Chains A and B, each alone.
Chain A
Amino acid sequence: MSDIKIKSKNLNVYYGNKQALFDVNLDLNEKEVTALIGPSGCGKSTFIRCINRMNDVIDICKVTGNIEIDGIEINSKELDVVSLRERVGMVFQKPNPFPKSIYDNISYGPKIHGKGESKNELDEIVENSLRKAALWEEVKDRLNEPGTGLSGGQQQRLCIARAISVNPEVILMDEPCSALDPIATAKIEELIDELKKTYTIVIVTHSMAQAVRVSQKTGFFHLGKLIEVGKTEKIFKNPDNKMTQDYITGRFG
């Protein structure tokens, strides 16, 4: 269970002149949930956006250092970012389903990667993804209705299903529950528990309780630095660092 899936070494990120991450060294284990916590603007999201090179989209963003997935450097120029993102899916803070039907939302990824040649195969992928995202029962009768017509929690699960549809190895979740009510949040957390059997999951969260509930490993970021990382239990019960202690007890942040 403790095979290292993702390894970052001396990762620095700059937005123009501003440095957002300072020498982050963080190992993420396979088929485990790693939670990243820390106050706003501390670089958690920046970090996970490095893992699928989502920062490439931002013109002024510059990344130095290494991130390896299964021992392969992903920041190299030779690596095709499209195939990287096929392996590393992402779920965003705000549910962002495409303004298309539920079916098209899920089938889009497989289609562009040439998976699911026939209609039947696609149907199967769509059903499997929705089942894994615990959404199938709720939407199976209205797959042709727009995905934007679902409730917030359903939309987020639709986005998770969309991420699953291309069968990635890693799923990055950037505060997936921050826009959801407690019931929807509980459902997503349940789902994360289920998904970690198949996928390596990295989740950014502002909720300590959520980190405790879903993760096995927790990293605490502050001002772009990784302050402390360790087993979730340890971080929340007996952190080594004073700052971590202060943050989890709500003294700042």
Chain B
Amino acid sequence: MWLKELLKNIEKNMTKEKRLKKRHNAEKRFRFYGLASIFLALLFVLILVQNIFSKGSSAFMKTAINVEVFYDPELLGVKNGATKDEILEADFFDITIETLLKTFPTNNLDEENQLIDLFTTDAELEIKNALINNSNLLGKTVSLEITSSDDIDQLHKGNYPRDLPEERRRISNFQLSIYDNFLENKKIIKNFNNYFFKNGDSRDPEIAGIGGALVGSFYSILICLLLSFPIAVLASIYLEEFAPKNKITDFIEININNLAAVPSIVYGLLALQILLATIQLPRSTPLVAGITLALMTLPRIIIPCRASLKAVPPSIREGALAVGASKFQSVFHHVVPLALPGTLSGTIIGLAQALGETAPLILIGMVAFVVDIPSTPIDPSSSLPVQVYLWSESAERGFVEKTSATIMMLLSFLIVMNFLAVYLRQKFEKRWN
């Protein structure tokens, strides 16, 4: 009998120990899973960032070739001491060809063409601009850095395999020998690629830039902010503080949540039908993009805005009412200021999403090839994410690095905006704690 008791006791103790061990093991396992998932997530982010950086960072530099330009007034068709206007009128084609051909001896027309192809199609413009900036150069010989063609640029950056057989290369053996000669004479220089920030889109990668896309994105987001922020804030204040709680407001609330989950391309279709087809707003413009993005962003701002209003303790409202504040006063003197940090960070994150939105903009025609930088919101324009999309489809090697560099720009804007959101929230919430 006592033996049975003893055995039972031992078993009981054993199971207790076992259970304890099991519990500890469960916790250990959970910690391990958690750590593993974090590491995995970090790994993916690192791979992404590394990939974008390794492809994109070279886009911030461009390759240029040092050439000697003789600004021959006779060839330009202007007299010595010509004014700026006269220089603007002049034809720089002949002087450009002459300058470029001087850089390497050629024997026939084909070789001449191959030589000229080593320089950017904008060489003429660069030579012209140098003279416009300093008209004293007329009649003198100066050395200029002319941007190289995309092929030479990529070759110089090491993105171009030169050991392919000639017929599979875009660069001929003759061009390679010129390149080697330039390299030997230290005529090839790498400098900061200001075109990338300053220029609009182009068919030629070496002169294509995100200037137009930057301005387009800026206008779009500005219009989006101006439209969505006041509407969203007022809507959330009304819904949260003033609206009666009934079936209609419930219905509205559900649908706001639904709208926030609607795929963005649907907003693009809506804009296409209503803004472009019916109201006939100008196609491909930041104005239409801004309105479309505002529609999309509205529910995404209303939700955090309502959440931060809801987070203000009811005791604050009661305190205000109890000293005789009206409903309006209690809301606008007390609740709204307290909800502001949450509202602002919600807005910024909503705008950050809008900044990265591509699909609706493609539908409203921002995918059009726009070379000019828009000066007003009703000029045709591109935007950063659409520029990424456009360039990622282009065949030229130079666009590969430009695509990644544009993504880097876009990501840095997003990171800055998100940091701003966190900063605002922390700064204003700390004040009273």
Contacts and interface: CB of A to CB of B under 8 A. Distances in A.
| Bound pair (A, B) | yes
Interface of A: 52, 54, 57, 59, 82-83, 85-86, 89-92, 94, 96-100, 108-109, 112-113, 146, 148, 159, 162-163, 165-166
A162 B325 contact: no
12 contacts: A85-B321, A85-B322, A90-B322, A92-B315, A96-B319, A99-B316, A99-B431, A108-B320, A112-B324, A112-B329, A112-B333, A148-B433
A159 B320 CA distance: 11
Contacts of B334: 98
B241 to A, nearest CB: 11
Given A98-B334, A99-B338, A148-B433, A83 B324 contact: yes
A16 to B, nearest CB: 12
Contact of A108 (B244, B318, B333, B433): B333
Contact of B322 (A52, A112, A148): A52
Contacts of A57: 317-318, 321
A52 B323 CA distance: 10
A36 B313 CA distance: 26
Nearest to A85: B324
Contacts of A108: 320, 323, 325, 333
The 6 closest A-B pairs by CB, nearest first: A109-B323, A96-B315, A99-B432, A90-B322, A86-B324, A85-B324
Interface centre among B317, B319, B334, B338 (most CB of A within 10 A): B319
B323 A148 contact: no
Interface in B302-317: 313, 315-317
B326 interface: yes
A92 B244 contact: no
B427 interface: no
Contacts of A109: 323-325
Interface centre among A89, A99, A146, A166 (most CB of B within 10 A): A99
B430 to A, nearest CB: 11
Contact of A54 (B244, B316, B321): B321
B245 interface: yes
Interface of B: 244-245, 313, 315-326, 329, 333-334, 338, 431-433
Contacts of B333: 108, 112
Nearest to B325: A112
Given A96-B313, A98-B334, A54 B324 contact: no
Contact of B320 (A89, A91, A98, A165): A98
Interface centre among A54, A82, A91 (most CB of B within 10 A): A82
B325 to A, nearest CB: 6
Given A112-B324, A162-B319, 6 more contacts: A85-B321, A86-B323, A98-B320, A112-B325, A146-B432, A162-B323
A99 B325 CA distance: 16
A66 B321 CA distance: 22
Contact of B318 (A83, A92, A97, A166): A92
Nearest to B334: A98
Nearest to B244: A59
A85 B321 CA distance: 8
A163 B318 contact: no
A54 B433 CA distance: 28
A59 B244 CA distance: 7
A121 B128 CA distance: 74
B317 A163 contact: no
Contacts of A82: 324-326
Given A109-B324, A112-B324, A112-B325, A92 B433 contact: no
A77 B131 CA distance: 83
Given A59-B244, A112-B329, A97 B323 contact: no
A166 B323 contact: yes
B298 to A, nearest CB: 26
A107 to B, nearest CB: 11
B324 A59 contact: no
A89 B318 contact: no
A22 B320 CA distance: 29
Contacts of A163: 322-323
Contacts of A89: 322-323
Interface centre among B313, B323, B329 (most CB of A within 10 A): B323
Contact of A166 (B315, B324, B338): B324
Contacts of A97: 319
Contacts of B313: 96
A89 B318 CA distance: 11
